[in-house]
């Protein structure tokens, strides 16, 4: 049932303005760890990938340090993201509403909210980012471990490592693209960044963008008294 997809911290706070909890402190901290890890991995990965970007290794103390640090940042990203994953995967399961939302992409781009279906906590675009990140990070950690010669040099054959290097490079480019898309969407939809800085959104924002989610909280009586 849709109501079961409410997160433990989802609550409405009466006041002027009405505030709606979207992410708790731990989730927000983890989100910024993920974001910082992705940025550092992108910079260090590009520095190792193509000679023109090699000067970026100076940010990490040189080429050797970059090669040493890069996979460990990947480990941080993997564990941080999958803590996030197990908290949010149920809320990101596809629904029929997502199909309707995708069929109205022109209205999404034009921000014609009155022509879109009522949405739960996440829309189809956000769910795409979530599942794309999940798959790409999993593929990157697997391929990254295969080519992590400092610890796993003898674990796989050379032909396997060659394939893993190619897979790692392709998926790295894809995750950079997905990350840019996620960043753009967060800036483009006014009020979204507040959820990851303050942990809450206004009642008006929730009503406009995620009305079904707001109604779920009302139906579940997740409403605190006025402060």
Give the model's pLDDT for residue 226.
63
CATH code for position 81: 1.20.950.20
Phi, psi of 195 (to 5 degrees): -60, -35
Residue at token pair 């949405």: 119
Give the closest residue to 199 by CA, choosing from 52, 67, 32. Answer: 32
Give the model's pLDDT for residue 167.
96
Give the model's pLDDT for residue 3.
42
pLDDT at 45 over 50: yes
Query: Does residue 5 have a cis bond before it (omega within 30 degrees)?
Result: no
Provide the 3-class DSSP secondary structure of residue 28.
helix
Q: In 60-157, which ranges are continuous DSSP H helix?
A: 63-88, 96-103, 105-110, 124-146, 149-152
CA dist., res. 223 & res. 147, Å (int): 51
- The sheet with strand 19-21 has its strands ordered as 200-202, 19-21, 12-13, 223-224
Provide the 3-class DSSP secondary structure of residue 147.
coil
Residue at token pair 């550092």: 40
* Catalytic annotation, pick one of 168, 182, 209, 210: 182
- Is the four-CA dihedral 109, 113, 116, 121 of positive or negative sign? positive
Q: Contact at 8 Å (CB) between 140 and 176?
A: no
| Residue 182 annotated as catalytic | yes
Q: Contact at 8 Å (CB) between 45 and 172?
A: yes
Please report, rounded to a whole number, the percentage of residues in the chain having pLDDT higher than 90.
74
CA dist., res. 84 & res. 93, Å (int): 14
121: containing domain: 2-224
Domain count, the chain: 1
Determine which helix (DSSP H) or strand (DSSP E) holds 206, and give its type and residue range.
helix 203-209
Tens digits of residue pLDDT in 149-205: 988 988 999 999 999 999 999 999 999 999 999 998 888 888 888 888 999 999 999
Give the closest residue to 215 by CA, choosing from 7, 12, 1. Answer: 12
Confidence of residue 69 (pLDDT cuts 50, 70, 90): very high
């Amino acid at each position: 049932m849709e109501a079961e997809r409410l997160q433990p911290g989802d609550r409405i706070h009466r006041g002027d303005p009405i505030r709606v909890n979207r992410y708790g402190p731990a989730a927000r901290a983890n989100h910024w760890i993920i974001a910082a890890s992705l940025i550092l991995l992108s910079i260090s990965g590009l520095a190792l990938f193509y000679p023109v970007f090699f000067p970026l290794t100076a940010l990490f103390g040189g080429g050797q340090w970059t090669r040493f640090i890069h996979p460990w940042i990947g480990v941080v990203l993997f564990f941080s993201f999958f803590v996030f994953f197990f908290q949010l995967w149920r809320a990101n399961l596809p629904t029929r509403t997502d199909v309707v939302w995708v069929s109205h992409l022109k209205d999404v781009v034009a921000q014609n909210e009155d022509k879109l279906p009522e949405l739960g906590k996440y829309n189809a675009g956000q769910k795409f980012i979530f599942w794309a990140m999940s798959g790409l990070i999993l593929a990157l950690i697997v391929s990254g471990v295969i080519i992590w010669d400092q610890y796993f040099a003898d674990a796989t054959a050379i032909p396997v490592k060659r394939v893993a290097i190619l897979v790692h490079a392709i998926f790295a480019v894809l995750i950079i693209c997905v990350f840019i898309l996620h960043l753009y969407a967060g800036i483009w939809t006014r009020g979204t960044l507040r959820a990851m800085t303050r942990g809450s959104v206004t009642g008006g924002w929730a009503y406009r963008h995620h009305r079904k989610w707001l109604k779920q909280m009302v139906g579940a009586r997740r409403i605190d008294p006025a402060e």
